[in-house]
């Protein structure tokens, strides 16, 4: 059999890594793309079928390929009118349903399967359960019990979801909104988290006929800002001292926003100007300052950086104005489950008496989890066997600039996308991941083409400047 590189996970990261690998590897090599969710090219973000779940980036920024920036916008433009009816053009740009984006990615994969004379892309509809080192690579074992000999693997398992809220039998998964249809139509529901996943959850609840009260809770009660038209702003010129202290860095960015305002410009111009250097900023901060960012500043950064499409933001604003959605700042002290409801005790931020909220469901929309909290069997095995170790702050996996996993036994295993969160911070959106996919494929190809004994690592020059 031809030598094989496996890719674990067929969301955006894995799908794009697989496509770039096909181009970068010698033609005698194959790619095994493994997906446990059943649908290739969709992942968590683009698997939704709801037409009001919009991309939170403009179509112009969503090309799958770094060197063809118009690729997705052109694909959208070629769709028959009836199929593009849910695409929304706003003064801030064009926003497409995420389901359409999933279709775009699935089509790219289909083209790759079809266009190869002798198929080199093999789709495995199963969860990867383990990777065991053997001579010449790994034995990849799936949950279904099949084994494959692979020379190396790229891990593209996406965001880890962690237990953001205390356990409850009334917990609902935001990624399985079909279960929302079973809720009583007007007894209250709690959403834990107030970011973009909450925005989706509210749309899914209403879309399934839920007319009751929704309470959304997070530490600070901040909801995503809305996209607005932006113009290019120069990348701020930062001194070494600005990069050594979070306080100085924040002050410097605030000053830049003031300067933008005085020039008649929008704060979004400055936030967007930081995007190409965010990874560099993150990596420049000392670990103590990174920890301070995670503790104090992250919610503020997230709502300014990860903005909502105008129709989605308008729907949330209308919900709040009409009293259907109440956003609270605080934390959960306890959840007491009853047979059909849970009583949630909430301590409000900034003081005041604890409040008891009786809800029929708790949607955990808290976002990213840590490796040590994950129930993912593959990750747990890789860490336990020394093939991987958690990244900084337990966010994702530790990897080098060449995307290769670090760990006592790590070898020919690479990763990309949200699993690099602790190392890169800015690595969860398409514009970042598409660069990584091209880079990781080139690095894998360079390494596997080299004889095993003389493995040479090539640095990834643009890793620090992903954007």
Closer by beta carbon to ligand FAD, 188 or else 467: 467
Which residues inside 177-216 make contact with ligand FAD, applying CB under 6 A?
197, 200
Residue 225 exposed, middle or buried by CB count within 10 Å (0-12, 13-18, 19+):
middle
> ∠ CA(13), CA(16), CA(22), 5° rounding?
135
In the complex, minimum distance from the CB of residue 15 to ligand FAD, in angstroms, rounded to a whole number: 7
Among 158, 310, 369, 392, binds ligand FAD (CB under 6 A): 158
Quote the CA–CA distance of 66 and 16 in Å, as a whole number: 11
Closer by beta carbon to ligand FAD, 127 or else 444: 127
Among 5, 25, 156, 445, binds ligand FAD (CB under 6 A): 156
Of 8-16, 65-73, 131-139, 187-195: span binding ligand FAD (CB under 6 A): 8-16
Q: Which residues of 115-148 are buried (b: 16+ CB within 10 A; e: fewer)?
A: eeeeebbebbebbbbbbebeeebbebbbeeeeeb
Which residues inside 16-75 make contact with ligand FAD, applying CB under 6 A?
34-37, 43-45, 55-57
Closer by beta carbon to ligand FAD, 34 or else 260: 34
Q: Which residues of 324-338 are buried (b: 16+ CB within 10 A; e: fewer)?
A: bbebbbbebeebeee
Which residues inside 117-146 make contact with ligand FAD, applying CB under 6 A?
127-128
93 binds ligand FAD (CB under 6 A): no
Quote the CA–CA distance of 64 and 71 in Å, as a whole number: 7
Strand partners, 217: 192, 328
> Which DSSP state fits 226?
B
366 binds ligand FAD (CB under 6 A): no
In the complex, minimum distance from the CB of residue 169 to ligand FAD, in angstroms, rounded to a whole number: 25
In the complex, minimum distance from the CB of residue 56 to ligand FAD, in angstroms, rounded to a whole number: 4
In the complex, minimum distance from the CB of residue 264 to ligand FAD, in angstroms, rounded to a whole number: 29
398 binds ligand FAD (CB under 6 A): no
**225 with 398: CB under 8 angstroms?**
no
Largest CA distance in the chain: 69
Which residues inside 216-255 make contact with ligand FAD, applying CB under 6 A?
none
Closer by beta carbon to ligand FAD, 34 or else 172: 34
Place of tokens 């249809």: 181
Q: Are strands 413-415 and 214-218 parallel, antiparallel or unpaired?
A: unpaired
11 binds ligand FAD (CB under 6 A): yes
In the complex, minimum distance from the CB of residue 61 to ligand FAD, in angstroms, rounded to a whole number: 7
Quote the CA–CA distance of 331 and 441 in Å, as a whole number: 42
8 binds ligand FAD (CB under 6 A): yes
| Structure-token pair, residue 134 | 């053997």
| Structure-token pair, residue 132 | 């065991």
Which residues inside 265-304 make contact with ligand FAD, applying CB under 6 A?
none
400 binds ligand FAD (CB under 6 A): no
Of 106-114, 144-152, 222-230, 426-434: span binding ligand FAD (CB under 6 A): 426-434
SS3 content of the chain, % helix, strand, coil (to 5): 40, 20, 40
Site map 433..462 versus ligand FAD, x via CB under 6 A: x-----------------------------
Quote the CA–CA distance of 73 and 83 in Å, as a whole number: 14
Of 21-29, 113-121, 144-152, 156-164: span binding ligand FAD (CB under 6 A): 156-164
> ∠ CA(197), CA(61), CA(263), 5° rounding?
95
Strand partners, 129: none
Quote the CA–CA distance of 212 and 131 in Å, as a whole number: 47
415 binds ligand FAD (CB under 6 A): no
Quote the CA–CA distance of 4 and 7 in Å, as a whole number: 10
Q: Which positions lie near ligand FAD, rule CB under 6 A?
A: 8-14, 34-37, 43-45, 55-57, 127-128, 156-159, 197, 200, 378, 417-418, 428-430, 433
């Amino acid at each position: 059999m031809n030598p094989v590189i496996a890719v674990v996970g067929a969301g955006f990261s894995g799908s794009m890594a697989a496509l770039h690998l096909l181009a970068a590897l010698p033609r005698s090599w194959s790619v095994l793309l493994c997906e446990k969710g059943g649908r290739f090219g969709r992942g968590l973000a683009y698997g939704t079928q709801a037409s009001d779940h919009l991309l939170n980036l403009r179509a112009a920024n969503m090309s799958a390929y770094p060197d063809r920036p118009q690729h997705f916008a052109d694909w959208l433009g070629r769709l028959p009118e009836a199929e593009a009816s849910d695409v929304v053009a706003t003064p801030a740009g064009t926003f497409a349903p995420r389901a359409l984006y999933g279709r775009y990615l699935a089509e790219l994969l289909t083209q790759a399967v079809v266009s190869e004379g002798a198929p080199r892309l093999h789709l495995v509809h199963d969860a990867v359960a383990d990777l065991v080192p053997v001579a010449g690579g790994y034995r990849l074992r799936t949950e279904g019990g099949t084994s494959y000999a692979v020379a190396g693997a790229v891990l593209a398992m996406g965001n880890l979801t962690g237990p953001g809220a205390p356990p409850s039998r009334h917990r609902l998964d935001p990624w399985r909104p079909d279960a929302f249809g079973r809720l009583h139509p007007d007894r209250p529901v709690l959403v834990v988290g107030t970011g973009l996943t909450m925005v989706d959850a509210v749309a899914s609840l209403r879309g399934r006929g839920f007319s009751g009260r929704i309470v959304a809770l997070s530490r600070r009660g901040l909801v995503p800002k809305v996209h607005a038209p932006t113009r290019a702003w120069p990348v701020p010129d930062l001194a070494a001292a600005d990069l050594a202290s979070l306080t100085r860095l924040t002050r410097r960015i605030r000053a830049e926003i003031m300067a933008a305002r005085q020039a008649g410009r929008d704060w979004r111009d400055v936030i967007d100007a930081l995007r190409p250097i965010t990874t560099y900023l993150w990596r420049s901060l000392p670990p103590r300052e990174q920890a301070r960012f995670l503790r104090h500043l992250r919610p503020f950064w997230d709502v300014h950086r990860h903005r909502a499409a105008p129709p989605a933001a308008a729907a949330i604003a209308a919900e709040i104005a009409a009293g259907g959605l109440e956003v609270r700042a605080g934390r959960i002290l306890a959840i007491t489950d009853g047979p059909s409801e849970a009583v949630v005790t909430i301590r409000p931020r900034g003081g005041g008496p604890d409040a008891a909220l009786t809800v029929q469901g708790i949607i955990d929309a808290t976002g990213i989890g840590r490796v040590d909290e994950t129930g993912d069997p593959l990750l747990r095995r890789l860490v336990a066997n020394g093939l991987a170790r958690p990244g900084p702050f337990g966010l994702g996996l530790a990897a080098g600039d060449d995307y290769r996993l670090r760990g006592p036994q790590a070898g020919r295993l690479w990763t990309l996308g949200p699993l690099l969160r602790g190392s890169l911070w800015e690595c969860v959106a398409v514009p970042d991941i598409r660069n990584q996919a091209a880079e990781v494929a080139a690095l894998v190809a360079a390494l596997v083409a080299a004889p095993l004994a003389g493995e040479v690592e090539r640095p990834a020059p643009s890793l620090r400047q992903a954007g």
